[in-house]
């Protein structure tokens, strides 16, 4: 059995091509819509009746927002990072819910597709350097890539070394999230596949137990990967806000 | 030998090597951070954040290998 069979996407609603782009709707798109709708509904319900003493769903949302503000913004970027709180918060919650949607049977994990994570990483890339250029001006921002006190002859070489590093950051962000989600779901699939392969009541309980353990581990990893994606993005944006190293 | 068998062996060997090295280095990282926060409990929060970031960077190496192994095996 091909372990990657479940990760191939098949169009469910066919739409006409726009040039080379195929906008057909598949399971990943629907899962992403469900995740987006869930995030919207939860945050909308929580912010409708805001009270000083949180009640009901406001508790849940307030914990997330405060965690993101204290850990990512104030902890890494400092006070100057406050305008970027909505961006980091959206990234964190969206990736978290996308990861969680894969644990519902019948759904697809949008983040186990390299194109989804790649899009998110490219967005972080443009936001990072856009903020740097807007805040410091293009010349001063790119000058900040070279450490202070470096001899003038060495500065261009260091600048050239920094260019691949700037492109490697979004690449590693995308591959890390994608491969983590893919690996976790392949592990679940292999345990489930054992039941079908052996067709024996004596062996069946062990894969079920393994599957439950991996699922609990996945529940942890969904939050952890969203955390890592958001914290690395805020590190990069924090570097840009403070004008390089 | 068949090319497919070579690809299977190469994928398995690459994944085993990457898992060994990355497992060892994450264990080393965790040990250092536990030692650090045991000596200075007030710095535990910052040390934990730094440890998770560093562990994510180390983990990325084994995940690159995982992607390459998957490409080799399902060629």
Q: What is the CATH number of the domain that holds B33?
A: 1.20.20.10
- Asked whether the beta carbons of residue B60 and residue A231 sit closer than 8 angstroms, the reply is no
Does the structure show a pLDDT above 80 at A34? yes
What is the pLDDT averaged over residues A101-118?
A: 88
**Structure confidence by residue, pLDDT tens digits, A157-192:** 888 888 998 899 999 999 999 998 988 888 888 888
Of residues A139 and A37, more confidently modeled: A37
What is the pLDDT averaged over residues A208-215?
A: 90
Residue A11, helix vs strand vs coil: strand
CA distance B35 to chain A (A): 22
- Show the CA angle centred on residue B33, arms to residues B28 and B37, nearest 5°: 155
Global pTM? 0.87
Residue B19 forms contact with A (CB below 8 Å): no
Contacts from A68-73 at CB under 8 Å and sequence distance 24+?
A68/A92, A68/A230, A71/A231, A71/B49, A72/A230, A72/A231, A72/A234, A73/A234
Residue A168 forms contact with B (CB below 8 Å): no
- Cα-flanking dihedrals φ and ψ of residue A21, to 5°? -90, 135
What is the pLDDT averaged over residues A111-119?
A: 91
Which pairing describes strands A25-26 and A11-13: parallel, antiparallel, or unpaired? antiparallel
In this prediction, residue A96 carries a pLDDT of 94
Domain span at residue B51?
A: 3-73
Contacts from A195-202 at CB under 8 Å and sequence distance 24+?
A197/A1
Does the structure show a pLDDT above 80 at A245? no
Q: Which stretch of A48-52, A71-75, B61-65 has the lowest confidence by average pLDDT? A: A48-52
Average pLDDT value over all residues in chain A: 87
A vs B: CB pairs below 8 A: 38
CA distance A94 to chain B (A): 20
Residue B63 forms contact with A (CB below 8 Å): yes
């Amino acid at each position: 059995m091909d372990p990657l069979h479940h990760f191939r996407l098949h169009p469910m609603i066919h739409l006409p091509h726009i040039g080379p782009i195929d906008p057909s709707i598949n399971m990943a798109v629907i899962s992403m819509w469900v995740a987006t709708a869930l995030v919207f509904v939860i945050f909308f319900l929580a912010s409708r009746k805001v009270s000083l003493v949180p009640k009901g769903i406001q508790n849940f949302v307030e914990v997330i927002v405060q965690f993101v503000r204290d850990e990512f913004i104030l902890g890494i970027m400092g006070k100057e990072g406050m305008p970027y709180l909505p961006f980091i918060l959206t990234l964190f919650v969206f990736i978290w819910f996308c990861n969680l949607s894969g644990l519902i049977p019948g759904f697809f994990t949008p983040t186990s597709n390299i194109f989804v994570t790649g899009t998110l990483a490219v967005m972080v890339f443009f936001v990072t350097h856009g903020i740097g250029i807007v805040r410091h001006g293009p010349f001063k921002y790119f000058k900040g890539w070279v450490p202070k006190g470096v001899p003038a002859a060495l500065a261009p070489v260091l600048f050239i070394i920094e260019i691949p590093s700037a492109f490697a950051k979004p690449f590693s962000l995308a591959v890390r999230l994608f491969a983590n989600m893919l690996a976790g779901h392949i592990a679940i699939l292999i345990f489930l596949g054992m039941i079908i392969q052996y067709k024996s009541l004596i062996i069946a309980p062990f894969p079920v137990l393994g599957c439950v353990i991996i699922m609990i581990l996945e529940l942890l990893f969904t939050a952890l990967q969203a955390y890592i994606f958001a914290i690395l993005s805020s590190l990069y944006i924090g570097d840009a806000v403070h004008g390089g190293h | 030998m068949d090319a497919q068998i070579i690809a299977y062996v190469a994928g398995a060997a690459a994944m085993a090597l990457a898992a060994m090295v990355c497992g060892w280095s994450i264990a080393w990282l965790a040990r250092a951070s536990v030692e650090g926060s045991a000596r200075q409990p007030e710095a535990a929060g910052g040390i934990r954040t730094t440890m998770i970031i560093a562990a994510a960077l180390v983990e990325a190496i084994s995940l690159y290998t995982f992607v390459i192994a998957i490409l080799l095996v399902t060629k």
